[in-house]
Amino acid sequence: MTDLSTTLGRLRLANPVLVASGTFGYAKEMAGVVDFARLGGVIPKTVTRHPRAGSTPPRTFETPSGMLNAIGLDNDGIDHFIHHHLPYLRTLPTAIIANIAGESEDDFIAMAEQIGREAGLDALELNLSCPNVAGGIDFAIDPERTSRVVRGVREVCPLPLIAKLTPNVTDIVPVAQAAAEAGADAVSLVNTFVGMAIDWKRRKPILGNVTGGLSGPAIKPLALRLVWRVSRHVDVPVIGIGGIATLDDVMEFLLAGASVVQLGTVNFYDPTASVRIVDSLPGALASLGAASVREVVGTLRVG
């Protein structure tokens, strides 16, 4: 029998397929179409310390090879999440990984301390890299600042920590190393690439925020390379994110060095993709002569 289980430091998952924050709501929205028990885990929408109205519309735009979004972390704040969404999430038969974003280092620490006291969460993902919030991306472009946030959170929160990093840097490896050395159990690679769209007839940007985060198939080759690079230089597990929509995509990320993957943009147009991929994994692993996910992670043959 094929063993689909995998680990992210202290966190053990039934299989390596997660659904990414911001693409799956707070899970209840998907209850009618997805069997949560067949997922490795759910990462609900990012929450902030205080309610946020988000960016000025339009907030999304479909490109020929993906999607631009500038949602701006629209949410009702961490208190609302804990009292309104967490009770439902606790009932789900899969791992629940909360996702938080702060406007300052103190914000991250305060939220992590608060959410770390709550039952029903299996891990915490730190959104250090949202490109659509003023200052939000700054936490993951500077290794020292990344280190301070992760270390501060580590001191107050008992949950396994995942640092979600931005690709919008010259070299992502030092940032990932800083997160790992500061106490992150894993790193998520990558958040969206900053892009824009223009209505040339009106001489105006299409997004109300002018720029937004590009996700979907267009960024897969770029994300794949970053996962491969970081997995060879950092001693914590890597979570692959970026244009993953098929079984082939998942297998490529696993071979490149990802222990786990997150499906994001595909959830908007095919929310059942994650379940189909999980069902197809045993056959794909068997075709490589593997009886477990762990046997194929990082086994890309180069040279």
Rounded to whole angstroms, the Cα distance separating 216 from 75 reads: 23
Whether the Cβ atoms of residue 73 and residue 132 lie closer than 8 Å to each other: yes
**Tokens representing residue 23 in the block:** 């693409």
Outline where the chain has alpha helix (H): 78-80, 86-89, 105-116, 143-156, 173-181, 220-233, 247-256, 266-269, 273-287
- 222: closest CA among 183, 257, 249, 193? 193
Query: How much is the CA Rg of the chain, to the nearest whole Å?
Result: 18
Residue recorded with tokens 């909360």: 98
Mark whether 130 is an active-site residue: yes
Distances (CA, A) of 30 to 35, 202, 231: 9, 37, 32
Estimate to the nearest angstrom the gap between the alpha carbon of 202 and the chain centroid.
Answer: 35
Would you say the C-alpha torsion 257, 265, 177, 156 has a positive or negative sign? Answer: negative
Catalytic site residue from 39, 130, 207, 273: 130
DSSP state, residue 94: S
Whether the Cβ atoms of residue 37 and residue 15 lie closer than 8 Å to each other: no
- Which residues belong to the active site? 130
